[in-house]
């Protein structure tokens, strides 16, 4: 079963002026209409907006979350009305609170999405009506574990996992019987390093209207233009990532993982957007040399979304897997995963069985605060 991933920056900006001469694919030109206003979402907010934003770890009751969710559903549906099965999730620190709010947001049987379907000629408002036939919300770390166990890696043994997100970083020791709750810890994510870099730069340079999300884009690229001069940020990025690792990540991991835990597993998976920074991965490799193999799997940034999709595929069954959607509304990027194409029924049934949990398997983290 092939999986398709689409990623958009998790930013929005109100913009009521008509847009013209935009011919990119839909994920690059999302303009949504909500409550009498117009909003640019994702890449369009970064290219056409002035100060695109998103509140970090915003709740499902907030406008930015809801617009990003609708943008994800719009792309997942191919901008066509129909029926979808959605799985999404939240960091364990806010899971219980946000789960109830998300259930309320998605509880409407028909989700109406109004969007600009003609950005070439100055605007054409269209409407998509989607029925959410099933919704499941799970802790984000479980989504990542599900991707490792039931996705292409198919790891059936014990392993450590660290999910390096922008807003939060989460850890766990996953066993065949389930994750060990004591090892499931949430700490501040990569924004810690981004914000310390921002503080350093702002002390010496005028950063104009650049906000946290725009600084993060420069942080990822490794360069920034200040006063019409291009500044290389790779050395500074490496320094701030090192500080983040030694001041935040390493102490948390030392507290979460004990010698007894290391006797149960010999590998650690790094997933999430932070796994894409080789200088950060190298700190994990140095600390755990000789005791753990540190693995950064292909597509590490998509693992939460992949785990959600595999769960949705189970609920869809082999005949309707095209309705399955994994929706990861992250603080830096919103990633959705869908079925790449419909496979023959006999092959698809086997793929779903091999890549998802059995219906009776428990997906809770009892005992986690």
pLDDT of 23 higher than 60: yes
Q: What was the pLDDT predicted at 341?
A: 60
Look at residue 283 and tell me whether its pLDDT is greater than 70: yes
| Residues 228-273 pLDDT 10s | 899 999 999 999 999 999 999 999 999 999 999 999 999 999 999 9
> Who has greater pLDDT, 20 or 150?
150
Q: Is pLDDT above 80 for 103?
A: yes
Task: Give the pLDDT of residue 148.
Answer: 98
306 vs 104 pLDDT, higher one? 306
Position 347 confidence tier, pLDDT thresholds 50, 70, 90: very low
pLDDT reading at 364 higher than 60: no
Give mean pLDDT, residues 292-308. 97
148 to 92, 274, 293, 308, 357: CA distances (angstroms): 18, 17, 15, 12, 12
- Distance, in Å, from the CA atom of 280 to the CA atom of 270, rounded to the nearest integer, reads 10
pLDDT of residue 343: 38
* More confident of the two residues 340 and 1: 340
pLDDT computed for residue 109 by the predictor: 63
At residue 24, the pLDDT reads: 86
Whether residue 198 is predicted with pLDDT greater than 60 in this model: the reply is yes
Q: How far is CA 229 from CA 203, 205, 226, in A?
A: 17, 12, 5
Q: How confident is the model at residue 65 (pLDDT cuts 50, 70, 90)?
A: very high
Share of the chain above pLDDT 90, in %: 78
Position 319 scores a pLDDT of 83
Q: How far apart are CA 328 and CA 331, in angstroms?
A: 10
Helix residue ranges, H only, the chain: 43-48, 63-76, 95-105, 140-150, 191-202, 212-221, 234-244, 250-256, 259-262, 278-287, 303-316, 345-355
Given a cut of 70, whether residue 208 has pLDDT beyond it is yes
CA 75 vs CA 89, 209, 326: distances in Å: 18, 30, 12
Tell me the average pLDDT of the chain.
Answer: 89
Between helix 303-316 and helix 140-150 the angle, nearest 10°, is: 80
The H helix count followed by the E strand count for the chain is: 12, 17
Cβ pair 312, 106 in contact under 8 A? no
pLDDT of 224 over the 80 cut:
yes
Q: Looking at the whole model, is its pTM more than 0.85?
A: yes
Q: Which of 327, 337, 311 has the alpha carbon at shortest distance from 68? A: 327
**Is a pLDDT exceeding 50 seen at residue 39?**
yes
Q: Is the pLDDT of residue 142 over 70?
A: yes
Domains defined for the chain, CATH in brackets? 3-141+302-355 (3.30.420), 154-296 (3.30.420.40)
């Amino acid at each position: 079963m092939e999986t398709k991933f689409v990623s958009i920056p998790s930013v929005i900006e109100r913009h009521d002026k008509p847009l013209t001469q935009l011919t990119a694919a839909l994920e690059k030109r999302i303009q949504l209409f909500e409550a009498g206003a117009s909003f640019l979402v994702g890449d369009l907010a970064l290219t056409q907006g002035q100060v695109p934003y998103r509140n970090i770890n915003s709740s499902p009751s907030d406008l930015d979350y809801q617009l990003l969710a609708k943008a994800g559903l719009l792309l997942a549906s191919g901008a066509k009305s129909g029926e979808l099965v959605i799985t999404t999730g939240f960091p364990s620190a806010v899971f219980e609170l946000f789960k109830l709010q998300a259930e309320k947001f998605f509880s409407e049987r028909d989700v109406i999405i109004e969007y600009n379907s003609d950005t070439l000629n100055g605007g054409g408002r269209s409407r998509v009506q989607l029925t959410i036939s099933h919704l499941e919300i799970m802790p984000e770390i479980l989504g990542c574990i599900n991707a490792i166990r039931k996705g292409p890696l198919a790891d059936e043994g014990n392993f450590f996992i660290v999910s390096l997100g922008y807003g939060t970083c989460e850890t766990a020791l996953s066993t065949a019987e389930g994750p060990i709750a004591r090892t499931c810890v949430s700490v501040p994510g990569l924004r810690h390093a981004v914000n310390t870099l921002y503080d350093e730069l702002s002390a010496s340079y005028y950063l104009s209207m650049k906000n946290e999300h725009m600084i993060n884009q420069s942080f990822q690229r490794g360069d920034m233009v200040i006063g019409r001069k291009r500044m290389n940020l790779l050395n500074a990025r490496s320094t701030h990532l090192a500080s983040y690792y030694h001041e935040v990540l390493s102490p948390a991991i030392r507290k979460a993982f004990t010698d007894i835990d290391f006797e149960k597993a010999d590998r650690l998976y790094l997933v999430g957007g932070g796994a894409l920074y080789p200088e950060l991965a190298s700190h994990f490799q140095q600390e755990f040399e000789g005791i753990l193999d540190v693995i950064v799997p292909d597509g590490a940034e998509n693992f939460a979304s992949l785990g959600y999709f595999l769960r949705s595929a189970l609920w869809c069954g082999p005949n309707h897997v095209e309705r399955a959607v994994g929706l990861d509304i992250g603080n830096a990027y919103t990633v959705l995963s869908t079925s790449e194409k419909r496979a023959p029924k006999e092959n698809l049934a086997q793929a779903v069985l091999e890549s998802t949990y059995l219906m009776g398997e428990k997906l809770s983290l009892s005992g986690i605060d």
